[in-house]
Amino acid sequence: MHNILVTGGAGYLGSVLVPELLRLGHKITVLDNFMFGQNSLLECCKNDNFDVFRGDVRDEDFIRPHVKKADYIITLAALVGAPLSHRDKIGTISTNKDAISTLTKLMSKAQRIITPTTNSGYGVGQKGIYCTEETPLNPISLYGKTKVEAEKIALDRGNAISLRLATVFGMSPRMRIDLLVNDFTYRAVKDRFLVVFEGHFKRNYIHIQDVTRAFIHAMDNFDKMKNEAYNVGLSDANLSKLELCATIKELLSDFVYLEAPIGEDPDKRDYIVSNEKIEKTGFKPAYSLKMGITELIKGYRIINNSKYANI
């Protein structure tokens, strides 16, 4: 079992990943500033293998003693999403990129780092052509740019794996409603109606439980996978927004959606992605898009406010 440092471990991804790592017997230390007032890791506090510290991952003096003890470092701390990144540009650059640079400077050569990037690094792809890990990165948002730069820092340092995550969906103790599948399903449950802008734009999707499984898979196969980037998504879910709406409608028959004839989506991402590289290492997603939407429908019968978002 390993000593694992998880930065931003109380966020959307970490609140699912950390309990699973503890269940597997690892010793986990979480660093988080709890900027959203979340209490998602309270149930972990009874576990003797869990520790948590409130602070800023950009503070070198704060992270230094925790870095020294780690076998693995999983870097989840980030200002995530185009809207939040646009609102706090300095915070986005200093957290998403500069903090990774500081972290890698403090790490020994033997320590291992697994960092999530984002498929948004592909920007606007070519119609009908799958983006692979060899496809040139062309991020169009500040969020995408900083995550691509952070990936380069980690991989250039070595002893690292980058997981290029598709758009994540599914329930989490630190819920985010602003992610696309989560958002569309929320509107379908609560409003029964949705106006879609630029509905032909495509992207790939992945369930949050499969993201957790991908991190564990990367740890279990680190020597075979190290120093490479891997797309992580559902190979049967390279869908347009309108195709996503149609899938939701299969599960909520009274859901109505229309494509707006005018107007545009500020998020211009449009690409399809190949996940063949990580699949060849033995990783296969276990959760389908419909499974996630069914889960979200039940979750939204509980959640009924707007605090579960990044902006």
CATH of domain 3-168+206-232: 3.40.50.720
Q: How far apart are CA 115 and CA 215, in angstroms?
A: 9
φ and ψ at 291, to 5 degrees? Answer: -60, -45
How many other C-beta atoms are found inside a 10 Å radius of the C-beta of residue 41? 23
- Residue 125, pLDDT score: 81
CA angle at 64 for the pair 62 and 68, rounded to the nearest 5°? 140
Place of tokens 């503890």: 22
State the DSSP code for 122: G
Beta bridge partners of 222: none
- Residue 269, pLDDT score: 81
- Residue 308, pLDDT score: 64
C-alpha 306: how far from its chain's center?
20
- Residue 261, pLDDT score: 82
Each residue's pLDDT expressed in tens, for the chain with a length of 311 residues: 999 999 999 999 999 999 999 999 999 999 999 999 999 999 999 999 999 999 999 999 999 999 999 999 999 999 998 888 889 999 999 999 999 999 999 999 999 999 999 898 898 888 889 999 999 999 988 999 999 999 999 999 999 999 999 999 999 999 999 999 999 999 999 999 999 998 999 999 999 999 999 999 999 999 999 999 999 999 999 999 999 999 999 999 999 999 988 777 767 788 999 999 999 999 999 999 999 999 999 999 998 766 666 66
The residue type found at 272 is I
- Residue 84, pLDDT score: 87
- Residue 311, pLDDT score: 60
- Residue 82, pLDDT score: 80
- Residue 266, pLDDT score: 67
Q: How far apart are CA 49 and CA 72, in angstroms?
A: 15
In the chain, domain spans: 3-168+206-232
- Residue 123, pLDDT score: 87
Could you tell me the sign of the dihedral formed by the alpha carbons of 68, 71, 77, 82, in that order? Answer: positive
Q: Which of 119, 151, 136, 156 is nearest to 237 (CA)?
A: 119
Distance set, CA 200 to CA 169, 235, 263, 292 (Å): 20, 18, 13, 22
